[in-house]
Structures are given as structure tokens and as C-alpha cells.
Amino acid sequence: MPTDVTLSPATYKVLQAVPVNWWPIVEVEKGIADATGRCLADVRGRLTQLRRLGLVESRRVQTIKPQIEVRRIVSE
């Protein structure tokens, strides 16, 4: 995990709204957009930024209908 990361207040709010447990990305994006009043594209962009910074991780789940799940990384 990065040691020195400065986030904008809006990106930090998105980070705080990402669940710690694995959750479908579609539901996370929609929930954060509804809760913060931001557009879906803005939330997707901020989640992409957080993934690049190593603060959020994603995985592809192979089920009948494959989906991507995300979770917030918590330092222990």
C-alpha cells in the first residue's frame, strides 16, 4: 500500500463508502453515486484511481454470469 497518498475530499468519501468485504462493483458504484449525489462516471473514475493507488482491489468472479467485485484494502 502506498505510504504517502493525498486524496481529494470527494475521492476520500468514495474510498470510505467502498465496503471492506467483496461486493459487486455495479452495486457499489450505484450505491456510492446515490449516497454522494455524484454522477456514475465520476464515481467510476475515482474507483479506478483508487485501484491504481492500491487502496481498492478488484477481482473477477466466475459464476453463471461473471461479475467484478471490489473491496477496500484495510491495513492490519
pLDDT tens-digit profile of 19-58?
A: 999 999 999 999 999 998 999 999 999 999 999 999 999 9
Q: Which helix (H) or strand (E) holds 30?
A: helix 25-36
Write the CB contacts of 2 (distance below 8 Å, at least 6 apart in sequence). 53, 54, 55
Residue 53 lies in a domain: yes
**Owner of C-alpha cell 461473471:** 66
pLDDT in tens, 1-29: 556 678 889 999 999 999 999 999 999 99
Amino acid, res. 55? L
Using CA atoms in the order 31, 35, 37, 38, what is the torsion angle rounded to 10 degrees? Answer: -40
At residue 9, the 3 state secondary structure works out as helix
CATH number at residue 20: 1.10.10.10
Number of domains in the chain: 1
Which pLDDT does position 7 carry in this prediction? 87
